[in-house]
Structure 1
Amino acid sequence: MFFQPAEVQLREIKPFEEFPLGFGEGSLAGVISTDELASTVFLYHLVANALSEGPVYHVGPGSSFSVKLLKRLTEDVSNLYLGNVYSMDELLQALNLVEDNSLVVVSLFPTLLNRTAENIVELRKVVDRKGLMLVLTHTTIELNELDLPGEFRELYTLPELFESLLVLRTNSYRGHYRLNMTVLKAPAEFVSSIGDHSIPIDSLVKPLL
């Protein structure tokens, strides 16, 4: 199917201003965190920043999201919706229920059952049809840093269908924190962000500890 692109300004979300790329409407991102602090900083600041602009959905297996922690960043959580999904079929059903052009974050995505190439393609179709900002995340300490493309293929099956692929890590020294990230793939407008970044995040970490 062909269409003539409309010249409209699409919404774009970042977890914080210094983050090297944004997640736009109709985009699919895969994020791997190598520690819980990196995962927490990314997830909660991303959700907090998006809440003022419309509905935000967080889904995953089990109760993995803390509203109490989110309220340290923003008082108004009326646009937040949480859900549990345990398989790709359940995730696809959930995505068909969310509001168009909204942010959806999926935690522990690689643990979902029936994660096949066919289901990833269906996921891509839903993102395109509904204009979603879909961010699939996973946290693992067993990451082969020498073969990051292979790790994304193992965890996300068809990384070619993603606009953004990121690896997040944190380190600390004498009470100061940095987010060290590798951008393997980025949308065309953020192609200059591909590579390694090290960002001071003391102000982002403080309210979460």
Structure 2
Amino acid sequence: MPMFFKPAELQSREVKPFEGFPFGLSEGSLSGIIATDELAETAFLYHLVANALKDGPVYHIGPGTAFSVKLLKRLTEDVSNLYAGNVYSVDELLTALGIVEDGSLVVVSLFPTLLNRSAEGIVEIRRVVDKKGLILVLSHTTIELNELDLPGEFRRFYELPEVFEVLAVLRTSSYRGHYRLNMTVLKAPPEYLSAVGDHSVSIDSMIKPLL
């Protein structure tokens, strides 16, 4: 049943992987992230989780993907709010999302490898995000990316990119021991419209503990 509601005036929870990242992720948001290398994925994922753990539970879900608590403890000592689980289909993901705590951060790794992906499934995921006020990040790491057709790549991986608040591609580059996180943001929340475009951020201090 469709519903109308008055937008809340209170500031909702927002998380960023690190200071200087071009946008934040708020409650009730759905993000699609593509990383083109493992270092970009690790830097984004572990710093995002470490920052979010300060304010509530964080869930990492994926099809058999391991999340290293040992690596996470290099960024934060208290990992008691971290929960991890495996899902292998969109139906299993929807069941998992139904039992996570409202308003929490949920990261799904390797989302395009889940079985039974469809536009209808994405709409159901969107429905749960709205109902529970989740901060949901669907991520994927691939070395096969058509950089000349990024909108087409997001449609290939995420079926219905129109219902996402955030669409971004992450890459790392290094030169003489210095690292940068390079980003192409195709879609950002309304309050971060200036983030749409290309960015390059120094991440030396963030990469050091991970290496």
State TM-score, norm by structure 1: 0.99
Q: Secondary structure at the match of 2:60?
A: strand
The letter of the residue matching 1:195 is G
Return the letter of the residue paired with 2:42: T
SS of 2:75's partner is coil
- 1:182 maps to 184
Runs of 4+ aligned structure 1 residues displaced above 2 Å come to none
Whether 1:25 aligns to 2:27 is yes
> Which residue does 1:133 correspond to in 2?
135
Q: Is the 8 A contact 2:65 2:109 kept in 1?
A: no
Matched to 1:88, the amino acid is V
Q: Which residue among 48, 51, 56 is the counterpart of 1:49?
A: 51
CA distance, structure 2, for counterparts of residue 105 and residue 63 of structure 1: 11
Per mean C-alpha deviation after superposition, the further-off stretch among 60-69 and 50-59 is: 60-69
Amino acid of the residue matched to residue 184 of structure 1? L
* Aligned counterpart in structure 2 of residue 166 of structure 1, from 163, 168, 173: 168
Partner of 1:206: 208
1:9 — aligned with what?
Answer: 11
Alignment counterpart, residue 106 of structure 1, candidates 105, 108, 114: 108
Task: Give the counterpart letter for 1:52 in structure 2.
Answer: K
SS in 2 for 1:77: coil
Give SS of 1:52's match.
coil
Which string of whole-angstrom CA distances, capped at 9 and with x for unpartnered residues, describes residues 65-96 of structure 1?
11110011011000000000000000000000
Q: Where does residue 88 of structure 1 map in the other structure?
A: 90
Offset at residue 64 of structure 1 (A): 2.2
Aligned length: 209
Tell me the TM-score normalized by structure 2. 0.98
Separation in 2, partners of 1:36, 1:64: 13
Task: Provide the residue aligned with 1:67 in structure 2.
Answer: 69
Letter in 2 for 1:170: T
Report the Cα distance in structure 1 between the residues aligned to 2:181 and 2:6, rounded to whole angstroms.
39
Q: Which amino acid aligns with 1:6?
A: A
Question: Cα distance, 1:3 vs. partner?
Answer: 1.3
How high is the sequence identity, in percent, across the aligned residues? 78
Using the TM superposition, give the Cα deviation of residue 4 of structure 1 relative to its aligned residue in structure 2, in angstroms.
1.4
Distance 2:65 2:141 in 1: 15
Deviation for aligned residue 1:5: 1.4
Which stretches in structure 2 are left out of the alignment for 5+ residues? none
